[in-house]
Amino acid sequence: MRLKVGLLGGGSWGTTVASVVSRNAPITLWARDAETVDGINADNENHKYLPGIKLPSALRATNDLAEVVAGADVLVMGVPSHSFRAVLEEAASHLRPWVPVISLTKGLELASGKRMTELIEEVLPGHPVGVLTGPNLAREIMTGQAAASVLSMEDEIVVRALQPVFHSGLFRVYTNTDLLGCELGGVLKNIIAIAVGMGDGLGAGDNTRSALMTRGLSEITRLGVAMGGRAETFAGLTGMGDLIATCTSPLSRNRHVGVELGKGRPIDEIIAGMNMVAEGVKSAPTVIALAERYGLDMPIARDVYDVTQGKRSAQEVFRGLLRSAVGDEAHPG
């Protein structure tokens, strides 16, 4: 019997994952926005988030959350971090016991600092939790370009059972049992991408970008390992892989925010002009709080935090963004 999948969230990445899954399993997508639902059902297109891209006819959408959740053998969460808890709470009374819940969201809850899988465990105790994460730009995948992702859950048997639901053709899905490491990599690289974008917006070169990405990966790994992740995870698809894609692609929302900050535009104006969420802006305060909790120096993340909070300009911080590179590279102070 094929597993029935319910996906909550009608953004670009949620729609992309739903499209990929529709080749392997029956799937229904829930979106709050009635126009998104109508566009998917009537035109096979998400006009708001993936304009001009034809979606599979097997993909069905609805704005009835209870219907999607009650019928799901696997529940996929594709909503932004700021509404993640509320949607989970709405879903809780409709979800059958033991149904796995997979997060697509690369962010942290602002109030608590919790990862999305921690929220799932809190709101839906007893459900196996996981993340699908990696260097995955939605529009590239929808246009048929090859990509690799990672499905991470702590239970090796469950993760292998669910792998075929997401693995499809040129969208290759690997497994990893380091849930904390995989999830953190996806969160933290967004902040480094803002830093790289700031450099690009200020006209910095490839050498600068390379240095920022490498030192940024070092910061990410230090925090991830301190929190309990495995160092090798951060050298893989969910760490370095995702960092490269997010720091270099013109499709990256977080890099775009950085570029505009580098050009001198205020953060509120940049965000007001965006259709989609740049999770790095939301995560920066929480990441700084985590660094302080674990007694770690994260100079790149702190500078991004200062600029996104309006405390300093990109021009002011950029001169100091690489200052951590002057000590021992392998064991920074």
32 is in an annotated binding site: yes
196 is in an annotated binding site: no
Nearest to 113 by CA among 230, 311, 315, 282: 282
Residue 52 backbone dihedrals phi, psi, to 5 degrees: 85, 0
103 is in an annotated binding site: no
Q: With beta carbons less than 8 A apart as the criterion, state whether 302 and 292 touch.
A: no
249 is in an annotated binding site: no
Q: With beta carbons less than 8 A apart as the criterion, state whether 230 and 217 touch.
A: no
30 is in an annotated binding site: no
138 is in an annotated binding site: yes
Nearest to 221 by CA among 211, 213, 229: 229
49 is in an annotated binding site: yes
Residue that the structure tokens 């405390």 belong to = 311
| Secondary structure (3-state) at 32 | coil
Active site residues: 189
311 is in an annotated binding site: no
39 is in an annotated binding site: no
CA-to-CA distance for 111 and 292, rounded, in angstroms? Answer: 16
What strand order describes the sheet that includes 129-133? Answer: 60-62, 27-30, 5-8, 74-77, 101-103, 129-133, 147-153, 171-176
253 is in an annotated binding site: yes
| Tokens coding 164 | 């075929």
106 is in an annotated binding site: yes
6 is in an annotated binding site: no
- What DSSP designation does 248 have? H
| Secondary structure (3-state) at 38 | helix
Where in the chain does DSSP place strands (E)? Answer: 5-8, 27-30, 60-62, 74-77, 101-103, 129-133, 147-153, 171-176
134 is in an annotated binding site: yes
9 is in an annotated binding site: yes
| Secondary structure (3-state) at 68 | helix
Annotation: binding site for NAD(+):
9-14, 138, 253
Annotation: binding site for substrate:
106, 253-254
Annotation: binding site for sn-glycerol 3-phosphate:
106, 134, 189, 242, 252-254
Annotation: binding site:
9-14, 32, 49, 106, 134, 138, 189, 242, 252-254, 277, 279
